[in-house]
Structure 1
Amino acid sequence: MSIEITVSELYDLKETIAAGLLEGLTYPWEALPKIHDFIIDLGESLPKDIYEERGEYIWVAKSAKVAPTACLNGPLIVDEDAEIRHCAFVRGNAIVGKGAVVGNSTELKNVILFNKVQVPHYNYVGDSILGFKAHMGAGSITSNVKSDKTLVVVKGEGISIETGLKKMGAMLGDNVEVGCNSVLNPGTVIGRNTNIYPASMVRGVIPAGSIYKKATEIAGKREGYF
């Protein structure tokens, strides 16, 4: 297991149209206040033979599938071959990567979903970044505001970083698997290739290549497990 919290440690930037936003940043949460303007700037330059503008600051790839019951608000980019399913609610400031799935009654707000991300069933994802092929099981959510409304601090073993943000959900590295009905508390960072047990309450920095059962029981994956 290893502690991974930087952009380069968590993400393969070849797997997102938002690479230009994340490049040069140390920590991924630094991108959260910049998503809105980045989408607007990028959207204006997207090739019209691949993307169509479906509303104010809403760009959707022609190969994407969007259910007629989905609610889309801009700024928003839906990349190629993505799927926005029945009654999904995109509140804005969202990038949905190539081949990503946003499912039934899932809500997005101020997020970057890398390519092949799946948030397919009753998920809330706010002020968060989900890496390549990350998957959130049914009913799992990101909690993005502390109950006392103070600024979010990212904490882990030997780590305490003030983000300066009132709203920050979770940073999921590539290939993270979150079990059903789990809650990722504000400031959660999960390293690549980690599995979170169903119905978990997760807080702080979770090492890469681990299996999270509870805060006091985090095991490293066997070699060859992933």
Structure 2
Amino acid sequence: MKAADLFEFPASIPFADFFRADALPWQWIGQIKKALASGFETNVPGSIPPGVRISGEVYIHPSVELPAFCSIEGPAWIGEGAQIRPGAYIRGNVIIGAGSVVGNSCEYKNCLLLEDVQTPHFSYIGDSVLGNGSHLGAGVILSNLRLDQKPVKALVDGKSVDTGLRKFGALVGDQAEVGCNAVLNPGSILGKRSLVGPLTPFKGTLGPNKLLVSKPETSIQER
């Protein structure tokens, strides 16, 4: 498995050299901090609403409108046409691609959102990569730490692989979707155009074009 199986890195994000298509996909998580540390042009709007807090090195594209209140801690890079909604909390080492939705009361930490990613309501996105056009329903949680705090393992070709990462949320492939109030456990991988249904706890790897639902019973089938 390689990153190109899940994602196509968009030209609009200026860190392509750090995210190799032939890398193991979870290696992209460790590259987020390195990419931002390499340096980038900062830009913050001249007029900031009273309820908005911005600190550290931050780039916000001029087309991005700030909401009534939110918190953005750098380093962070936010691309053209992204929407930041009230109550969003960006905790640092975050890259948000063009056209993406940074949702109300959502928290983001060490994550990469490619283009047109939809995370509109009440989610936690930590130590994760979300592919182009992917979507998280309201209340989706990407859990990034095992209860025993041991390194996270990924399921690849039916085998458990040690990723070497203590914190690893999820890799959500291009155009994949996760239904409302689902929980993706540490190390979850969703293939391109796959779908996890609402209220579904999931751990493992779901292949491309697959549908997983837990009610009335768990099943995997072609979309």
Same fold (TM over 0.5): yes
Distance 1:60 1:32 in 2: 21
Which residue type is aligned with residue 59 of structure 1? Y
Mapped pair 1:159 → 2:155: no
Aligned pairs (5 A) from 1:34-113: 34-44=31-41, 51-52=43-44, 55-113=55-113
Give me the whole-angstrom Cα distance separating, in 1, the residues matched to 2:157 and 2:20. 26
User: Equivalent of 1:12, from 4, 8, 15?
Assistant: 8
Distance in 2, matches of 1:74 and 1:141, equals 22
Amino acid at match of 1:26: A
| Residue 32 of structure 1: aligned partner | 29
Q: Is the 8 A contact 2:19 2:31 kept in 1?
A: no
1:219 aligns with 2:215: no
Aligned pair in 2 of structure 1 residues 191, 16: CA closer, same or farther (>3 Å)?
farther
> Does the 8 Å contact 2:2/2:21 carry over to 1?
no
Secondary structure of 2:213's counterpart equals strand
> Percent identity, aligned pairs only?
35
8 Å CA contact 1:126, 1:169 repeated in 2? yes
Distance 1:175 1:76, change over 3 A: same
TM-score, normalised on structure 2? Answer: 0.89
Larger helix fraction of residues: 1
SS at match of 1:163: strand
Q: Tell me, which stretches of 5 or more residues in structure 1 are unaligned?
A: 222-226
Contact 1:131 1:175 in 2 (8 A): yes
1:147 Cα shift? 0.6
With the length of structure 1 as denominator, give the TM-score of the two structures: 0.88
SS in 2 for 1:125: strand
Runs of 4+ with deviation above 6 angstroms:
none
**CA gap 1:42/1:209 in 2 versus in 1, 3 angstroms:** farther
Matches within 5 A, 1:59-208: 59-208=59-208
User: Aligned to 2:18, which of 17, 21, 28?
Assistant: 21
User: Do the aligned partners of 1:96 and 1:115 also contact (CA within 8 Å) in 2?
Assistant: yes
Question: Do the aligned partners of residues 169 and 153 (structure 1) sit closer, same or farther apart at CA in structure 2, a change above 3 Å counting?
Answer: same
**RMSD of aligned alpha carbons:** 1.8
Specify whether residues 16 and 192 from structure 1 end up closer, same or farther in structure 2 by C-alpha distance, changes over 3 A only.
Answer: farther
SS in 1 for 2:26: helix
CA contact (8 A) 2:10 2:114 kept: no
Query: SS in structure 2 opposite 1:161?
Result: strand
CA deviation vs aligned residue, 1:10-48 (integer Å, no higher than 9, x gap): 11113661432211552121122231231132414x7xx
Moved more, 33-42 or 84-93: 33-42
Task: Give the distance between the partners of 1:122 and 1:15, measured in 2 at CA.
Answer: 29
Structure 1 residue 56: Cα displacement:
2.3
- Counterpart residue identity of residue 160, structure 2: S
Task: Give the conservation status (yes or no) of the 8 Å contact 1:15–1:114.
Answer: no
